Amino acid sequence: MKSRFSAALGVTSKVKTGVLLTNLGSPEAPTAPALRSYLREFLSDPRVVEIPRIIWLIILHGIILRVRPAKSAKLYQSIWTDNGAPLIEISKKQRDKVATRLQAEYGEDVVVELAMRYGQPSISSALQKLRQQGVENIIVLPLYPQYASPTTGSTFDAISRELTQWRWLPNIHFLSGYHTNKKYIAALANSIIEHVEQHGQPDKFVLSYHGMPEAFRQWGDPYYDKCLETTKLLVAQVNKTINISEECFLSCFQSRFGNAPWLQPYTDEVLEQLPQQGSKHIAILSPAFSADCLETLEELICENKEVFIEAGGKQYHYIAALNERDDHIDAIVDVLQPALNSACK
């Protein structure tokens, strides 16, 4: 039987629940014009830059969008693949694997869509796809393990703006993070354990989370604390298999922008100091990224490696983001499961 929502739209699908996976996004091409469009959307978000609006827009359009697109385009060119932006390619694989798992358990009553907060596929277009399939329930999972206002909060804003245009609203279940999920922590631990088995134990494991202005933390954003909680749980999980001292794990923050203080310690400064402290063999990973992207493939693998080696480091290894690993898909499904079980009764 068609739902009231389906009948109102003239669709015949029996789909009851839609799952929307989201991530940050990428420019459509590694070119200055594409970067200008992407950065304009990204940096115009008041969740991302919280300074007086008029002042910021003058800076953004008068300086940043004139200078930064060309520089950023060169960085994206260094990681671009034949299939496009790595983040988009990996996210599609995640979506497909999650869809396969959920449809095996729930059948055709569940569909999965993918959206990017900035760029394409947009949140608006993905929600419209779910709408056309007549869903009665929508479960939204931003793939940012640790909640932050500029990422998870901004995603909620975009979804809300789209839904203000809908006359009939389905049930919405918004999942705001999963930084303590046991299967997510286990997948991270597995990636570390596998690295040790293949390359030996480094002097330090550097856990590099994405940065955020320190002011956001002072204003109440819980991101910093959630990152440290992830580190604590991860260390405990690793030590269930191999005994590594807590002192071997360091939490730090990358990708700062501008002159204002950001969350510390800064990743590049940590890497610069480690060789002088006797740690010349390190492995670095970023638990904050569910998929490899510019911040990992270029910043961590290239830029920060150069900092470490120039400071006297000898061995620098990057442990990939969880991407479409099966244990990561297990974690994503596990995060979705309670909401799905409720929606699919």
Q: For 186-216, what is each residue's pLDDT tens digit?
A: 999 999 999 999 999 999 999 999 999 999 9
Residue 295 is labelled as binding a ligand: yes
- Averaged pLDDT, 327-336: 98
CA distance 171 to 164: 14
Q: How far apart are CA 164 and CA 167, in angstroms?
A: 8
Angle separating helix axes 32-43 and 65-79, nearest 10 degrees: 110
pLDDT of residue 257: 86
**Residue 210 among known ligand-binding residues:** yes
Check pLDDT > 70 for residue 27.
yes
* Type of residue found at 119: G
Q: What's the mean per-residue pLDDT of the chain?
A: 95
Instruction: Please give the share of the chain, as a percent, with pLDDT higher than 70.
Output: 96
Q: Average pLDDT in the 62-79 region?
A: 96
Which pLDDT belongs to residue 14?
58
Query: What would the pLDDT profile of 107-147 be if each residue is shown by its tens digit?
Result: 989 999 999 999 999 999 999 999 999 999 999 999 999 99
Q: Tokens 């286990």 map to which residue?
A: 186
Mean pLDDT of 299-310: 98
Contact 198, 212 (CB under 8 A): no
Per-residue pLDDT, 2 = 43
Strands 137-142 and 171-174: parallel
Peptide bond into 121 cis (omega under 30): yes
Q: What is the pLDDT of residue 344?
A: 85
Asked: is 182-318 a CATH 3.40.50.1400 domain? The reply is yes
Residue predicted with more confidence, 337 or 6: 337
pLDDT value of residue 1: 35
Instruction: State the Cα–Cα distance between residues 254 and 240, nearest whole angstrom.
Output: 28
pLDDT at 271 over 70: yes
For range 162-182, the mean pLDDT: 97
Give the three-class secondary structure for 16. Answer: coil
- DSSP code per residue over 42-61: HHT-TTT--S-HHHHHHHII
Lowest mean pLDDT among 46-55, 278-287, 317-326: 46-55
CA angle in degrees (0–180, nearest 5) for 313-185-231: 50
What's the rounded Cα separation, in Å, for the pair 256 and 263? 8
Question: Is the pLDDT at 9 greater than 90, yes or no?
Answer: no
Tokens of 36: 């200008």
pLDDT of residue 11 exceeding 70, the answer is: no
What pTM did the predictor assign? 0.93
CA torsion 219-223-229-232 (nearest 10°) is: -110
Question: Going by C-beta distance under 8 Å and a sequence separation of 6 or more, which residues neighbour residue 158?
Answer: 117, 123, 124
Digit-coded pLDDT (tens) for 213-237: 999 999 999 999 999 999 999 999 9
Q: What is the pLDDT of residue 139?
A: 98
How far apart (Å, rounded) are the C-alpha atoms in residues 22 and 123? Answer: 8
What is the C-alpha to C-alpha distance for residues 322 and 301, in angstroms, rounded to an integer?
Answer: 15
Q: pLDDT at residue 6 above 90?
A: no
What b/e readout covers 168-194, taking b as 16+ CB neighbours within 10 angstroms? Answer: eebeebbbebbbebebbbbbbbbbbbe
